[in-house]
């Protein structure tokens, strides 16, 4: 019983440590290179989507 309790405490400490490391990592500001990469990937995704998009039929105006 004591062994199980100790192992559970060890797992909990490992999870807490991992959570702290992830929080620290994601709270750091992105560098200039990261923002340039993000912008380039966004442009590439939009270009790819535009190439793969089927042409939309012309919308008709309703007569009022």
Residue 51 to residue 58: CA distance in whole angstroms: 18
Residue 29 to residue 9: CA distance in whole angstroms: 33
Break the chain into its structural domains and give their ranges. 2-50
> How do residues 25-60 score in pLDDT, each as one tens digit?
888 776 777 788 888 888 999 988 888 876 666 677
**How many residues appear in the chain?**
64
Residue 56 to residue 28: CA distance in whole angstroms: 42
pLDDT at 13: 92
């Amino acid at each position: 019983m004591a062994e199980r309790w100790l192992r559970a405490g060890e797992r909990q400490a490992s999870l807490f440590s991992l959570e702290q490391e992830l929080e620290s990592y994601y709270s750091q500001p992105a560098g200039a290179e990261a923002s340039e990469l993000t912008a380039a990937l966004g442009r590439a995704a939009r270009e790819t989507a535009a190439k793969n998009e089927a042409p939309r039929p012309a919308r008709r105006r309703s007569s009022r």
